[in-house]
């Protein structure tokens, strides 16, 4: 009789771990996506500019031009994300 209680407890523990992991992953992915497409936190733009600056040894003028281009691209990504937000959320929900 005690054996089945142990198995049930282990099963409940395993299922709860899977559920917590799934919810945690979904929240993490949404947070990361919101950071990428946010105007306030231009993560992709900064990474892009930093990588180009380091790899190509850009001058200050070149870096400023790249930042302008990257800012325009980030604005376009933000608009696209805003227009298709519900579709993106569906994809995130299905993949988590």
* pLDDT tens by residue, 86-96: 887 788 778 76
- Of all residues in the chain, the percent with pLDDT exceeding 90 is 9
Task: Please give the angle made by the CA atoms of 94, 23 and 31, to the nearest 5 degrees.
Answer: 80
Element (H, E) at 40: none
pTM score of the predicted model: 0.46
* pLDDT tens by residue, 8-20: 999 999 999 899 9
Cα four-point dihedral sign 85, 27, 92, 44: positive
């Amino acid at each position: 009789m005690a054996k089945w209680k142990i198995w049930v407890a282990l099963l409940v523990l395993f299922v709860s771990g899977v559920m917590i992991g799934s919810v945690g992953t979904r929240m993490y992915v949404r947070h990361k996506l919101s950071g990428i497409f946010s105007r306030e936190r231009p993560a992709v733009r900064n990474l892009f500019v930093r990588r180009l600056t380091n790899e190509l040894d850009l001058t200050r003028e070149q870096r400023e031009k790249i930042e302008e281009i990257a800012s325009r691209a980030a604005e376009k990504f933000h608009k696209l994300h805003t227009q298709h937000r519900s579709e993106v959320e569906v994809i995130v929900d299905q993949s988590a």
